[in-house]
Structure 1
Amino acid sequence: MTFLFRDTVPVATGTVSVAFTERRLDLGDLAPDEVRAAGLAEIAAETGATPYLMHQVHGTTVHEVTATDGFPDADALVTDRPGIALLARAADCVPVLLVGENGAIGAVHAGREGVRRGVVTAAVERLRGLGATAPRAWVGPHVCGGCYEVPDEMRAEVAAAVPATHATTRWGTPALDLGAGVLAQLAAAGVPAERVGGCTREDDAYHSHRRDGAAAGRLAGVVWRTP
């Protein structure tokens, strides 16, 4: 099985599918080339679409995909074209998938800096720029606020920008809840969201950098449209 979760949404221009990959696949930049290539080939076979990756840099750049070549520095992808599978990779950060009723789609990698700087909001705005009406979101597996311990100064900095991120670990130390921050940003943008999956650190069904360090692979949120 390629996906731990998969859902299908009818849109005006066909059907959009959203999915999150399972741990057997490692799609990270540090994975051996043949391992990542095998994972992408499996996604292509499962979706019937061409997978498109971005080089994620913890920023707010949104890249519009108009062809299937390239590997842009970005943390969000959008397209209104069928046959392209957009991927947002993560191993504790928040992968977010966006779907508009017109069939425009987006994939967002929301890490700590991306949440603080508003990458999800930027992606929603860009999707609407492609004519997307009534966008919806799927928020994938990520580290929970009870596990994501950070220095107090870091919590204060991020929470000053996105108050919903303020959290405390289960053992009583400062933490960030990036998922809560993303959900708050989506709500503020008028985008209903579905939460998918649990905490990546706690559940070994997912890749987790917090749990496994440099050895962690990367899962992916995947979204594609079929005419």
Structure 2
Amino acid sequence: MALPFARSADFPADKPAGRPCGNLGQDFRCGIHARLRETGYQGCTVFDCFGAGQKVSQITFGGTDWRQAPDTARSMFEVFPVMRQLQELVRYIAEALDMPAARPVHQELRRALDHVEGLTRGSAESLAGLDVNALRGEVNVLLLRAGELVRARMPGRRKNHRGADLMGAKLAGADLRGASLRGALLVAADLSGADLRVADLIGADLRDADLRGADLTGALFLTQAQLNAARGDAATLVSPSLSRPAHW
């Protein structure tokens, strides 16, 4: 409902923000959830709101139904993208706190987690007026330090491809252990058989990347949505906290 999408390889039709998807049922469930890829809605399978939808509807608006209270819809949909970014930060900070090697920044990370979680419980007005970009910049400094502390324990020279344009790159079998791939464009890249253990993948674009036989064990800040956007197989290794996509 809240977000727009455009006719493309990811969606079969246009939908403006604020208009219900044609597949949205009266029970707020998706009528084609089990057939999203087959029906052309691949974009839905690689999106993760990190629990923002539930938090906005149940916490920020106290369980208000925008269908029964249409006057809340506009505010609710304005707050949702902000909440999604906050929830994403919470997810990354929590992961960093689970990294023993990042212990030197755990105290700062805990303070950041308390602060961000506190913001998620704010009013709709406070959320709408939040400078999320500035907050992300502050938190990113801590996440970067955490990632560097963990990656420093990997042997050998660690490659730095932060923000690199590696679209369609031939990286089959590459040794990318402990590499920084933060924000890297890896669309349709060939990473088959690559060693990505403990690589920092925060914000990396893995759409249609070939991860068949790749080892992503312990990859840092890798999300389920990133995996869902890529191609893999039974030989692809991922951390237990992530699920192997059904289409692999």
Taking structure 1 as the reference length, the TM-score comes to 0.28
Q: Which has the higher contact order (CA 8 A, sep 6+)?
A: 1
